[in-house]
């Protein structure tokens, strides 16, 4: 069985199966199979719930650095979009990256402005307002399209 690093890390940290399944948007069976494949002991029933991992920490755990200052999403994808489930709500990695770098909420879709496909580096994120401003600046410098 191929073991996902994010599931293995969460299991080793003692995070309950249901929390792992909910945060990674996977089935409990996948978590159990991973636990067995890693040779970890069966979970203890009952007890206190683990605290919610801070958003920045959860984001960082699902990214990998790429040369050029880019970040690649290693977490869950749904319909081709990088997703992190947070308290039952799906959040795109781009919006999380935006919130980690900017103080205002994004306007419209958030995308990487660096040109690296799939980049989720917080400093590379642009919203519609930033793209419109850049387009306006480029038009004033170089003129409109011929």
Residue spans of the domains in the chain: they are: 1-43, 53-141
Average pLDDT over residues 127-143: 92
β partners of residue 112: 125
Q: Mean pLDDT, the chain, as a whole number?
A: 88
Tens digit of each residue's pLDDT (9 = 90 or more) over 34-91 = 888 888 887 766 655 567 788 999 999 999 999 999 999 999 998 889 999 888 889 9
Span 128-143, average pLDDT: 92
Please indicate, yes or no, whether the overall pTM of this predicted structure exceeds 0.85: no
**Cβ distance 25 to 84 under 8 Å?**
no
| CA distance readout (Å), 32 to 20, 28, 29, 67, 82 | 10, 6, 5, 35, 24
pLDDT at 111 over 80: yes
Q: How far is residue 113 from each of residues 41, 66, 117, 120, 128, measured CA to CA in Å?
A: 45, 16, 10, 10, 11
């Amino acid at each position: 069985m191929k073991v996902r690093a994010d599931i293995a890390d969460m299991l080793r940290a003692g995070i309950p199966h249901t929390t792992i399944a909910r945060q990674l948007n996977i089935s409990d069976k996948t978590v159990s199979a991973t636990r067995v494949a890693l040779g970890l002991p069966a979970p203890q029933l009952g007890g206190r719930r683990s605290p919610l991992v801070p958003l920045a920490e959860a984001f960082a755990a699902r990214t990998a650095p790429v040369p050029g200052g880019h970040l690649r999403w290693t977490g869950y994808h749904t319909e081709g979009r990088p997703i992190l489930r947070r308290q039952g709500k799906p959040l795109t990695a781009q919006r999380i990256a935006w919130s980690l770098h900017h103080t205002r909420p994004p306007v419209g879709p958030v995308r990487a402005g660096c040109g690296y496909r799939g980049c989720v580096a917080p400093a590379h994120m642009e919203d519609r307002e930033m793209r419109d401003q850049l387009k306006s600046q480029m038009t004033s410098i170089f003129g409109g399209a011929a």
